[in-house]
Structure 1
Amino acid sequence: MPAALWIIVAAAAASISLALGMRQTFGLFLLPLAAEQGLSPSVLGTAVAFQNLVWGLAQPVTGALGDRHGAGRVMAGGAVLMALGLGLPALFPNPPMVFLGIGILVGIGVSCTGTGAVLAAVGRAVAPDRRGEMIGLASAGGSLGQAALVPLAQSLIGQFGAVATLGLLAVTMLVLVPVGRSIEWSAPRLLAGPRPTGLSGLPALARQALRDRGFALLTAGFFACGFQLAFIIMHLPSHLTLCGMPAGMGAMALMTIGLFNIPGSWLCGKMSGLIRPELALGWIYLLRSIAIACFALATPSETGALVFAAVMGFVWLGSIPLTSAAIARRFGVADLGALYGVCFLSHQLGGFLGAAAGALLLQYAGNYDAFWPVMVAVGIAATAMNWTIRPPRAAPA
């Protein structure tokens, strides 16, 4: 590929790396913020749950803005919002600022800098025969942030405390402002096909897409992805601590997820060019459900936690390139950011319920034992949904 296309892929990977890597650290703050500031774990847990909902609601809008005006500008604006969202609770560590900053501003910021708008830019820049592979490669590069930021945040919390660490992470997010100029700073120019619908036509576009049975099932199945992953991101460190493991084990598990997701995301993107994306998605959800069931039934151990993290990591963001490829096959790439956002809203509704239910269960039951069977059942349902999707009748323009 030309060097310019590699720059776009690298910029997308950098944005996803910082945005999603930053989000993966929130579970590490759950107990330290309670010890330092007296904030109940349910405060941060509820804020992160609401963040998932805000992210989902904002994603169709920011995706449509990126489709119409360029993903780079959307990315830069989102980086500023994420910096503010992390900075507010660092300066004013109280429940309203945690909710406003981490719950609302970070939620909107991640919708700008995460997988939606930036991966749509990659999809528009790359030829169809390599689209899934390059989206998978950008997603894999994004895992470097999780692998690097989780242990870094754990170390900073130990040295400087949770509040100071939030402030340092806020400053780090501003790196994405200049990176935005490298990906798609002006309105995208498509060589063929329809122009992007834009923000004004988003409601009609969403209604039309959801009338397609395959897209509706794809969207419903994406709920399970958000439900499972948000719970693990937010609550796996606390679960391991409650099982008697060292405090650093949670960070090690999240880092392992990030490391194994690097080859996993690339392979899943590659698979989208070899088999139907919906079939591969079904296998991902089934593998996750089996891994969760084995982890819940096994005797807690550090080795078991790392094996579970490795398996989950291999299919962690693999659903993203496959979902993007499935949408592009049905509708083309002109509105890929907006349509991915519509689908992603279901993902984040699942994330909201997964993170919030876990926080409430921890507060009232003191453990997560009752939640693992629900995680398995949701994943199996998503497998069935994806395996019943029929191929599109005709290739999009």
Structure 2
Amino acid sequence: MPATPTSAPLQQPARLSLWQVLACGAAIVTLSMGIRHGFGLWLQPITMAQGWTRETFSFAMAIQNLSWGAFGIFAGMAADRFGAFRVLLVGAVLYAAGLVGMALSTSSIAFAMTTGVLIGAAQAGTTYAVIYGVIGRQIPAEKRSWAMGVAAAAGSFGQFLMVPVEGWLISSFGWQEALLFLGAAVLLIMPLALGLREPGFAAGGAPLRDQSIMHALREALRYRSFQLLMAGYFVCGFQVVFIGVHMPSYLKDNGLSPQVASYALALIGLFNVIGTYAAGALGQRLAKRHILAFIYFARAVVIAVFLIVPLSPMSVYVFASVMGLLWLSTIPPTNAVVAQIFGVAHLSMLGGFVFFSHQIGSFLGVWLGGVLYDRTGSYDIVWYIAIALGVFAALINLPVRESPIARGPQRAGAAA
């Protein structure tokens, strides 16, 4: 049967080199994710300086995660329509403005608007959904999961690199000055974005597609496997953001020094380089639903063991190292499954919707951590919720169908 005329534009070869996409994309994710991974280090300095409760800080961070998820949908639509380059430029400016606002805010409302809404919107335009859209469009399917693993590993390396730097900036210059330094550093995303200017978007428009945005969205939201992936990603957000934001305070409450928390977060980032790369590479060989189920169940086991054994610097470092292997390793297989099922034409948008579910979980994880601590004086209840959710996520990922969605003849090209 002859190919339909509309399918041809979707099968054009990659126009940017693989290594250019990976180098620029990885550097952007390293910087953007590296900065946000260290925000937990500011919880105690800011609350003590401003006289706020931990719930106030936690609420702003929860708003940040929710804002990131909500704006991520629109950032994905814009990247699919106009290309990643323009979205990255706007995101970099918003990030710098948000970090300056985080440093200078004197009221809880201003803090929530800058640290929460503004930085969240900036992260939507400078992290995975946008970068993975470029990877999906520019890198062949047989290398896509691996390439997504490389980009996710870069974000993990950013955590390993940036968290100790952020801790050093706070101790050497003060928490406000440290945020201002980071505000200047994040503008490096703008020149890096030049390497992700896709030729298909050079004239300001997108390549021809077989599906409209609304058709692609309706198709995905009605598809059972997409719903299951979103539910699993909700759990991922709950677990990692609760741990990332509240673990430094949890450790200090139990008599451990701030340096232990800094080293622990750095170890998470270091070992996540291995975990995310391995998840992306294995996604080329194994069923991605099995990889996801293993990751979520392993997280539940690791958290349970961490709570059972006596707390010490060594137990923290072991926990951080093992959890690091599982930290962002859900990202490559989840996004690769979305691309495998629906194609790459609307990958940034669909990835944004999946990530929105992740950020709802993040909102609840970081906010409940602050609320329940203020109510009970302990993080125990939230730890137990994280364990139960890990088992739940493992079970619901098993029935995910990874094969391309069946479409009519007019839509067949979108799955290419």
Shift of 1:394: 5.5
Checking the alignment, whether the CA contact within 8 Å between 1:261 and 1:315 is kept in structure 2 is yes
- Distance in 1, Cα, partners of 2:74 & 2:125: 9
For 1:296, which of 301, 307, 315 is the aligned residue? 307
User: Cα deviations across residues 246-286 of structure 1 (Å, max 9, x unaligned)?
Assistant: 11111111100000011111110011111121111111101
For 1:321, which of 307, 332, 337 is the aligned residue? 332
Aligned twin of 1:311: 322
The SS at the match of 1:113 is: coil
Shift of 1:375: 0.4
Aligned twin of 1:102: 115
- Distance in 1, Cα, partners of 2:401 & 2:142: 21
Judged with a 3 Å threshold, the aligned counterparts in structure 2 of structure 1 residues 392 and 194 are, in CA distance, closer, same or farther, namely: farther
For 1:144, which of 146, 151, 157 is the aligned residue? 157
User: Cα deviations across residues 19-41 of structure 1 (Å, max 9, x unaligned)?
Assistant: 11111111101111122232322
Judged with a 3 Å threshold, the aligned counterparts in structure 2 of structure 1 residues 186 and 41 are, in CA distance, closer, same or farther, namely: farther
User: Cα deviations across residues 193-245 of structure 1 (Å, max 9, x unaligned)?
Assistant: 96286xxx544432220211111111111110001011011101111111110
Shift of 1:393: 5.7
- Distance in 2, Cα, partners of 1:122 & 1:131: 7
- Distance in 2, Cα, partners of 1:267 & 1:239: 30
Please tell me the residue identity of whatever aligns with 1:86: L
Aligned twin of 1:47: 60
With 88-97 and 245-254 compared, the bigger mean Cα shift is at 88-97
- Distance in 1, Cα, partners of 2:128 & 2:373: 30
TM-score normalised to structure 2 length:
0.90
With 381-390 and 349-358 compared, the bigger mean Cα shift is at 381-390
Checking the alignment, whether the CA contact within 8 Å between 2:213 and 2:346 is kept in structure 1 is no
For 1:82, which of 74, 95, 103 is the aligned residue? 95
Please tell me the residue identity of whatever aligns with 2:181: L
- Distance in 1, Cα, partners of 2:361 & 2:266: 23
- Distance in 2, Cα, partners of 1:37 & 1:315: 35
For 1:212, which of 223, 236, 244 is the aligned residue? 223
Larger Rg: 2
Judged with a 3 Å threshold, the aligned counterparts in structure 2 of structure 1 residues 196 and 269 are, in CA distance, closer, same or farther, namely: farther
Q: Which runs of 4+ in 1 moved over 3 A?
A: 185-189, 201-204
Aligned twin of 1:247: 258
Please tell me the residue identity of whatever aligns with 1:121: V
In structure 2, the gaps of 5 or more residues are 1-13, 407-414
Shift of 1:187: 4.5
Aligned twin of 1:195: 209
1:115 equivalent in alignment to 2:128: yes
- Distance in 2, Cα, partners of 1:155 & 1:57: 32
Aligned twin of 1:22: 35
Shift of 1:94: 2.7
- Distance in 1, Cα, partners of 2:347 & 2:41: 34
In structure 1, the gaps of 5 or more residues are none
